[in-house]
Amino acid sequence: DAGVIQSPRHEVTEMGQEVTLRCKPISGHNSLFWYRQTMMRGLELLIYFNNNVPIDDSGMPEDRFSAKMPNASFSTLKIQPSEPRDSAVYFCASKWNWDRSYEQYFGPGTRLTVT
């Protein structure tokens, strides 16, 4: 299994530009989570999906952030317009929601730098 796949791995953009982060969960997993990690705030949950449906987006910091999951094998997190304070590592994680384990499988992350 390839694990959770994220792209791009690194993104450098200028303030005001649109940024789209991509995630492919592990095949068969039906829950998907987007996290943001910074030194100051640690690992924050932004939004999560179950069976492609957004369940809780209360962690999304502002309306500039949006996320979609058009099918079971693809999700995007979009920031428009981006700001320097959005600089962070963004992780996608997935899990199979029907077993007793709460284990989440994290992707390698996208390191976003907004200048």
Residues that bind other proteins (CB under 8 A): 31, 33, 42-43, 45, 48, 50, 55-56, 91, 93, 95, 97, 100-109
Q: Which is nearer to other proteins, 52 or 81 (CB)?
A: 52
Least separation in angstroms between CB 101 and other proteins: 6
Tell me how far apart the terminal alpha carbons of the chain are, to the nearest angstrom: 36
Q: Which is nearer to other proteins, 71 or 102 (CB)?
A: 102
Least separation in angstroms between CB 72 and other proteins: 15
Beta strands in the chain (DSSP E): 5-7, 10-13, 19-24, 31-38, 42-50, 53-56, 65-71, 74-79, 88-95, 105-106, 110-114
> How many CB atoms neighbour CB 38 within 10 A?
13
Least separation in angstroms between CB 105 and other proteins: 7
